[in-house]
Amino acid sequence: MTTVVSPEQDAPTGNSFTAARRAMIDSQLRTSGVTADVTIARMRSVPREQFVPAAMRDVAYVDRAVPLGDGHFLPSPLVHGMMLQEAAPLPTDNVVVVDCGSGYLAELVRPLVAGLTILSPAEAQGAAGKGAKADLILIDGAIEQLPAGLANRLVDGGRVVTGLVQDGVTSLARGRKSGSEVAFLKLGEIGIPRLPEFDKPKGWSF
């Protein structure tokens, strides 16, 4: 089911994971070029451990993907930091987040934008251009192809930030819509969990 939420103030947080969150920012994000004030502030304030299965909370801030079940993963903190910094959400943006099952990326973005729609990968595949137009689409994983229906939701000039899979290698990528096409620019290779729902159909081989 599609969920639409509006920005609201974050509740203050304070728990035993604060030190791990600070270490994530200092040793993973800043050292890899993720330094935008807004990105750092959001990743400092959102308790990542609350968006993983209870048994995985102790590794929520480790520099690796966290399994969520059903073949989906929460990407590493660095991936989310790079995605958010690259997306640079605007207060006027209407955003679609294709969520891997955690809700973490959507929570990072939520108070920064005018409106937020959350889709599962299956819903994104069947979107067929339905729903409000989006200025920005964020996909919480790596894809082989962008479904036409999801691309149709973008306004002309709209942006996409996602992982791309090419020849088995994943990269962070930025896309922009012009006319009916979305052109992608790869920004650098980085490990991003693949979203199998966005795989290209496999052809027959003889």
Please say whether the beta carbons of 96 and 74 come within 8 A.
no
What tokens does 57 get? 């909370």
Quote the CA–CA distance of 71 and 197 in Å, as a whole number.
10
Domain 3-198 bears CATH identifier 3.30.1360.120:
no
pTM of the model: 0.89
Quote the CA–CA distance of 130 and 117 in Å, as a whole number.
12
The b-or-e profile of 14-45 (16+ CB within 10 A means b, else e) is eeebeebbeebbeebbeeeebeeeebbebbee
**Residue 144: CA atoms inside 13 Å, Cβ hemisphere, count?**
11
pLDDT tens over the chain, length 206 residues: 444 443 333 433 445 889 999 999 999 999 999 999 999 999 999 999 999 999 999 999 999 999 998 889 999 999 999 999 999 999 999 999 999 999 999 999 999 999 999 999 989 987 655 778 999 999 999 999 999 989 999 999 999 999 999 999 999 999 999 998 999 999 999 999 999 999 988 765 44
Residue type present at position 138: L
**Residue 49: CA atoms inside 13 Å, Cβ hemisphere, count?**
17
Residue type present at position 80: H
Residue type present at position 206: F
